[in-house]
Amino acid sequence: MKKWNLILVIFLLFSGSSFANDFEFTPNLQNAYNELCKLKVQSAKQLLAKEPANNGIRIWLEDFADMIVLFASEDEKEYERLSDNEDKRLDLIKDLDEDSPYNKFVQAEIKLHWALVKMKLGHETKGGFNAISAYKLLEENRKRFPNFTANYKNLGVFHVMIGSVPENYKWVTKLLGLKGGIQQGLKELNIAVNDKIVGKEAKFYQLFIQSNVLTLDDNERQDLSQFVTNNPDNLAISFLGVSILLRNNKSEMAQKVLQNRPSGAAYISMPIFDLYQAEILFNKGNYSPAIQYYQSYLKNFRGNSFLKDVNFKLFLANWLTNNPDKALNHLAKIPNVGKKFSETDIIAQNFYEQFQKTKAFPNKNLVKACYAFEGGHYTEALAFLDNLEEDSFTSQIDKANFNFRKASILQKMNAQTQAIPFFERAMALCAGQNCHFGASSSLQLGYIYQQRNDKPKARLSFERAIAYKKHEYKNSIDNKAQAALTEMGI
């Protein structure tokens, strides 16, 4: 009997040791992960090739590499070639040590990689199922390994997103078994930021969430600037910096990050930077060089994102520089290129369809004011509106646009009291219409009253923002408004 007990012990020891290196994060693999986070895919692949093929960490990072390439390129043919890797890699991970906190973590990472790719390529339903599956894996992993801090990187993002879902859609999250809140998610991201391995990636997501779902104040903007400065060789962080600064009307700051971004053959191709450069120039009114960068984006990008928007901007740039034939040529391309994935692509498509009905060109000064504002050139934007009044326009939408733009400029110039009646007028003009200027005005009024600690008016404004139906910015405005309501404890 003792002999068999000894044999059993030896068997268990050896069978246990067969799992010992299933998820070994070797120094070489840590270097590969760091290279991937910098978007240096080829050097990362060279490092990965030196590791055992059955190491779960290598499998995870190989999948990460595929996601980076597919997400950046939107190459449908490459997606078809690589898509079988998802199930193959998941099967490999499931056969590895189930007692490792990395098992379900890596499964969730792979699910999320393909969720992002599928959604970017327009396969939203498939991507959604991937994301839900990843969330459930992370929740299971959290319960079993609560001190495994890497788990909170994506779990924090999930909980912020779930917490920002408007109240009238909460039944969907409950039906799908998704639970979480904004404050919970932010706390989890703070935990993940301090993780020795995934901390930098968690910081990336934290800043992205802060800008796109919540609001970015001066301290957080300084935090972003420091993050970019401290990582001069990280192209992904440069991309984050430029995109957030542009979204927050900081073109001049975005230009500096763009100029100082790392470059060279070691990094993957990122045509999006040509688009960002074009946007900076366009917003400043430098239309000729902007046209060149927009055309460079169209030439070098193989995907579908922003193609409608770029042709719309080329229409505007040529029209504003008195080249009507070229302008109309780009306008005619809008319905035949790209897909309506982004809000800006939807706006371009809607403009094209409206133009086909009315043949009415927009007011040039209003267009210039809109984009000068987008670039953060507030004094110039206000000057374009000085000779305009609401009666300068015939359509309700243009009148609402005028009032919203004037209010937005005044708000950014710290003249909130003067801005309020213009926001209110934009809302009135949009009543009963699918008009994002009303929803955007309601959102900004909510922020003004929130800053003044006038909770009743802030709540009413945020709820009104959510109540607007079927406009181009529906998802982002609803999420921001609900996030603000949640932050206020409402």
The answer, yes or no, to whether residue 470 has pLDDT greater than 60, is yes
User: pTM above 0.85?
Assistant: yes
Mean pLDDT estimate for the chain? 88
- What's the rounded mean pLDDT across residues 217-236? 91
Of all residues in the chain, the percent with pLDDT exceeding 70 is: 92
As a whole number of Å, the CA-based R_g of the chain is: 25
The answer, yes or no, to whether residue 92 has pLDDT greater than 50, is yes
Q: What is the DSSP letter of 395?
A: S
First to last CA, the chain: 67
Contact present, 180 and 132 (Cβ < 8 Å): no
pLDDT tens per residue across span 393-414:
888 888 999 999 999 999 999 9
pLDDT tens per residue across span 354-365:
889 888 888 899
Phi, psi of 68 (to 5 degrees): -60, -50
Place of tokens 């120094």: 27
> Can you read off the two tokens belonging to residue 397?
């939408």
- What's the rounded mean pLDDT across residues 238-244? 94
Q: What is the pLDDT of residue 166?
A: 59
The DSSP-derived string for 260-324 is HS--STTSPP-THHHHHHHHHHHHHT-HHHHHHHHHHHHHH--S-TTHHHHHHHHHHHHHHTT-H
Q: What is the pLDDT of residue 119?
A: 87
Least confident residue range of 28-32, 166-170, 174-178, 241-245: 166-170
The DSSP-derived string for 274-287 is HHHHHHHHHHHT-H
Q: What is the pLDDT of residue 7?
A: 40
Q: What is the pLDDT of residue 468?
A: 83
Q: What is the pLDDT of residue 226?
A: 93
Q: In this structure, how many other beta carbons lie within 10 angstroms of the beta carbon of residue 86? A: 20
- What's the rounded mean pLDDT across residues 62-67? 96
Q: What is the pLDDT of residue 14?
A: 38
Q: What is the pLDDT of residue 441?
A: 92
Q: Is 51 helix (H, G, I), strand (E, B) or coil?
A: coil
pLDDT tens per residue across span 418-438:
999 999 999 999 887 778 898
- What's the rounded mean pLDDT across residues 98-109? 95
Q: What is the pLDDT of residue 338?
A: 84
Report the distance separating Cα 203 and Cα 198, nearest Å. 9
For the chain, give every domain's residue range. Answer: 1-143, 272-487
- What's the rounded mean pLDDT across residues 253-258? 94
Q: In this structure, how many other beta carbons lie within 10 angstroms of the beta carbon of residue 144? A: 14
Q: What is the pLDDT of residue 10?
A: 35
Contact present, 385 and 366 (Cβ < 8 Å): yes
The answer, yes or no, to whether residue 335 has pLDDT greater than 70, is yes
Does domain 272-487 fall under CATH 1.10.357? My reply is no
pLDDT tens per residue across span 122-171:
888 898 889 999 999 999 999 999 999 999 999 998 888 887 665 555 65
* Residue 28 CB partners (closer than 8 Å, separation 6+): 47, 50, 51
* pLDDT classification of 172: cutoffs 50, 70, 90: low
Place of tokens 């699918």: 434
pLDDT tens per residue across span 44-57:
999 999 999 999 99
Q: Which amino acid does the sequence have at 75?
A: D
The answer, yes or no, to whether residue 6 has pLDDT greater than 60, is no
